[in-house]
Amino acid sequence: EGVTYERIDLRVAGLGLGLDARESGVPICLSACHVRFAESGAGGAGLVLRVRNGPLSSTGGMQPIFRDDGTWQLWRDRAGRHVFFAPKGSPPPRQVTIDPAFTAGDVTGEFSTMGAGRWSRYPLQDIDMMIFANWLAETGDLILHASGVDDHGEGYAFVGPSGAGKSTLAAELSRVPGVTVLGEDTVIVRRQAGRFVLYGTPWHTSPALCSPGGVPLTKLFFLDRTVGHHALPCSPRGG
């Protein structure tokens, strides 16, 4: 905690994201959960974002893709680039511009407006999950609102609405020998080499309840307090 970086690489679900702030001098700080996904000095990022200090671009001439003034926004500019805006409630104002192939872009923020204290937070705070959601969608993969574990090489995901018990179950399973919690509230599912793979994510509050690992998805559970227990075998759909 308190460690800052000029350049850092993260790897989530096999996707490498690099943040480079060497030109701007804006210090990069990671949450305890994000530290678990860091690969400092790895240099194998598929998407590299340069961190810049400055004003945000106008959305004039951009096409709105998703717009909610209370949360994040996604626009497409005239060059076909993805332009994400962080929620207004998470200062300072920031935008992330990424090329259509998700290989390069910029994180621009008014970091100098943070006062006498130096900016020492994660530049993609409150927005990186949305970036990964759209990046994964390019290959038909997705972020699942679920907890997930690696149980001796088998992946189990527990899907349910808020309050269904996902985090509670993850905390209980974390105490079982041989079980690794991949995520208490969000996991990623990717189809790779003809099978579904369950990955951990960093978007949590406890580093003990997330892991950067990946494991074949074996079982999918739906948590519902209003129905009884039953099992239904299923097979992947072709397509």
Side chain identity at residue 153, one-letter code: G
Quote the pLDDT of residue 163: 86
115: Cβ–Cβ under 8 A, 6 or more apart, which residues? none
What is the pTM assigned to this prediction?
Answer: 0.90
Report the C-alpha gap between 132 and 142 in whole angstroms: 9
CA 167 to chain centre: 18
67: left (phi over 0), alpha (psi -120 to 50) or beta: beta
72-111 pLDDT, tens digit each: 999 999 999 999 999 888 888 899 999 999 999 999 998 8
Q: Supply the pLDDT for residue 224.
A: 79
Q: Is 53 helix (H, G, I), strand (E, B) or coil?
A: strand
Q: What is the pLDDT of residue 4?
A: 87
Which residues neighbour 213 within 8 Å (Cβ) at sequence distance 6 or greater? 150, 180, 182, 199, 200
- Contact 201/186 with Cβ under 8 angstroms? yes
What is the structure's pLDDT at 231?
Answer: 67
Digit-coded pLDDT (tens) for 44-83 = 679 999 999 999 999 999 999 999 878 899 999 999 999 9
* Residues in the chain, pLDDT under 50: 116, 238-239
- From the list 108, 137, 126, 128, the residue with the least C-alpha distance to 11 is 128
